[in-house]
Structure 1
Amino acid sequence: MTRKQRRAGFIALGLGILGIAVALVLFAMRDNIVFFYSPTEIAEKGIGPGTRFRLGGLVEQGSVQHTGPATIKFVVTDLQKTVTVSYTGLVPDLFREGQGVVAEGTIGPDGVFVADSVLAKHDEKYMPPEVAEALKKSGRWEEGQMKDGAAKPVSR
């Protein structure tokens, strides 16, 4: 075997090992690649208690309850399914009903999503792109309904 053939063999072996490593990493992360799950996706996938993930959707109108000095309960919806969320801490100043939200945490044994962080929109026209995409998939989204030409969710 010549030097050139050995070098080509080592390069091929290295690329093969690298390819296998990338495949294993992607396989291990296949469920964590999604930025968040909508309430409908949680029901469809049957995500059980203790699994850590991000939940995204709209804060349902009339659902926000202050249950303690720093504890808040609210319902997140994608206009098809809902998930009750409990959060202890300070919510962002712009958090309110009818607006997009992404919460990170786990589902408790009682089915309530226990969040350890809550992210809200930054102005009255913004919605996280992932929330907007989930609403589009569910058929609950109309294009061009806001002043700036952005889309808005609709109730049906």
Structure 2
Amino acid sequence: MEVGLLLRALLVSSGWQLFVEATPSVSTSDPVLRARLGYNITLGCSFSHGRSRGLSSSGHIPVTILWYFYYNHESKLVYSHYGNGAQPNASAQQHPDYHGRALMPRRPPARGNASLRLLGVRLADVGVYRCVVMDATGLAYAETSLEVYGM
């Protein structure tokens, strides 16, 4: 799901200056993924965003990445990554079904990679996974469905 551009015009003493802030754009690698029971799978998610006045000292926009699982009107927090590197009570908030099984790749999210590695796929993992990306400019998400075979 892409959210449109937010345009802000600021009056500066020398005239008009236009600042463009783009909310994040998020996409998943496949709308439906199939995983073999007991194997590992990567749920691909990538994002891009425009520049903002909320840059960190490294020049990157801090992002928060949340992965949720949905099935039969139930939702679970699978994984959370906070842009400042802090993970406040991340394991306490993460659903127990995913403790030690959900990991982010080593590539920094600042480069647009929000993929999730799910270890030891179970039958209970069948459902919809939502990758949510938030930064100083807004929020966007994309979804992928996971099917499990090899019972």
- In the superposition, the TM-score normalised over structure 1's length comes to 0.25
> Which structure shows the bigger proportion of residues in strand conformation?
2
Larger radius of gyration: 1
- In the superposition, the TM-score normalised over structure 2's length comes to 0.25
> Which structure shows the bigger proportion of residues in helix conformation?
1
Greater RCO, CA 8 A, separation 6+? 2
